[in-house]
Amino acid sequence: MWDYTDKVMDHFLNPRNVGFLEDADGVGEVGSMACGDALRLSFRLDAEGRIAEARFQTFGCGSAIASSSVLTEMLIGKTLEEAARITNEDIVRELGGLPRQKMHCSVMGREALEAAIVDYYRRQGKEVPCALLHEDPEICHCYQVSEHTIRDAIARHDLAEVEDVTYHTKAGGGCGQCHDEIRRLLAEYADAKAAHPPVTVDLAADTGFHREVARLLAEEVAPALRADGGDVELVAVHGRRVHVRLTGQCAACPASDATVEGWIQQRLRELLADETIVVVEEKS
């Protein structure tokens, strides 16, 4: 029997915000009922552009229900930009943890949220933010898991085995025909990791702030960029000004300014609880 937290059990037995919003501004659907897990997430914005309501419908296990339920609560009151920064790790933390074998349920919630936000922008005829555009091919057809989702899980959790990928995304848990493709993605990540070792910091010379910035860039920021073929390097820290260099696909992306100021800078400010941090991109 799985070891569930009290909060997981509460959201499973008393799920919040169940249903579908007929007047939704955005709808995201992921998964497949034929293979055991599916989720539909809908949200409606208020006049100020914040999420006023969020609803979910899911076909899955107790962890899927709990993950979807707590996600809807996390969304209320947030702007789309704030909502887009919610990760599956945030969902797991909000629940007080999930069994390793059930991590994929939180990933499904994150995917549905992404799909719903993309749906909103397309309905409005607006340009979809670069960070939300994932046109990667589907790797696992049994569970409809994209290459981006698998790469993201591998990078975020430093995965090394197909079994680990299955636990985090459910990819590979069906017929098994995608195992070779998953092994390819694992090998590419291992090669990239070897070619881009973590930023090293001279502990004798650098401040605690410098060391913490280096750690957060390596552990919280770089994995997400690597999932999309990019990376970030720490160049220098001067006071509260953090100088970074984008590499890989991020370096050539026309939205690199938005990546640096709109995401990396904001992420460091949140993680360090310091609104004075300024991130500056150093061009190669």
- Which among 118, 23, 31 has a CA at the least distance from the CA of 68? 31
- Which among 36, 22, 44 has a CA at the least distance from the CA of 64? 36
pLDDT at 73: 97
Residue 14 lies in a domain: yes
Residue 115 lies in a domain: yes
Residue 117 lies in a domain: yes
pLDDT at 201: 46
126 and 25 inside one domain? yes
The enclosing domain of 159 has a CATH number of 1.10.10.1100
CB 64 within 8 A of CB 37: yes
> Given 130, 161, 182, which residue is the final one in a domain?
130
Residue 157 lies in a domain: yes
156 and 255 inside one domain? no
What is the distance between the alpha carbons of residues 25 and 10, in angstroms, rounded to a whole number? Answer: 28
Catalytic pick among 61, 105, 130, 175:
105
> Given 109, 130, 151, which residue is the final one in a domain?
130
Residue 202 lies in a domain: no
Residue 164 lies in a domain: yes
The enclosing domain of 60 has a CATH number of 3.90.1010.10
27 and 104 inside one domain? yes
pLDDT at 284: 62
Domain that holds residue 123: 6-130
Q: How many domains does the chain have?
A: 3
Main-chain phi, psi angles of 265, to 5 degrees: -60, -45
174 and 236 inside one domain? no
168 and 219 inside one domain? no
124 and 142 inside one domain? no
User: Active site includes 130?
Assistant: no
116 and 144 inside one domain? no
140 and 245 inside one domain? no
pLDDT tens digits for the chain (284 residues)? 567 899 999 999 999 999 999 999 999 998 765 556 789 999 999 999 999 999 999 988 899 999 999 999 999 999 998 998 888 888 988 999 888 788 888 888 988 999 999 999 999 998 877 656 555 678 887 777 888 888 878 877 778 999 999 988 888 888 889 999 999 999 988 887 777 655 444 444 556 888 889 889 988 888 888 877 778 889 888 888 888 988 877 776 666 667 787 778 888 988 888 888 889 888 76
The enclosing domain of 274 has a CATH number of 3.30.300.130
Residue 203 lies in a domain: no
Residue 200 lies in a domain: no
47 and 100 inside one domain? yes
What is the value of pTM for the model shown?
0.63
- Which among 177, 156, 7 has a CA at the least distance from the CA of 88? 156
Catalytic pick among 35, 61, 130, 253:
35
Residue 102, judged by CB atoms within 10 A of its CB (0-12, 13-18, 19+), counts as buried
What is the distance between the alpha carbons of residues 21 and 24, in angstroms, rounded to a whole number? Answer: 5
> Given 100, 130, 160, which residue is the final one in a domain?
130
Encoded amino acid at 186, one letter: L
189 and 234 inside one domain? no
182 and 167 inside one domain? yes
User: Active site includes 175?
Assistant: no
33 and 117 inside one domain? yes
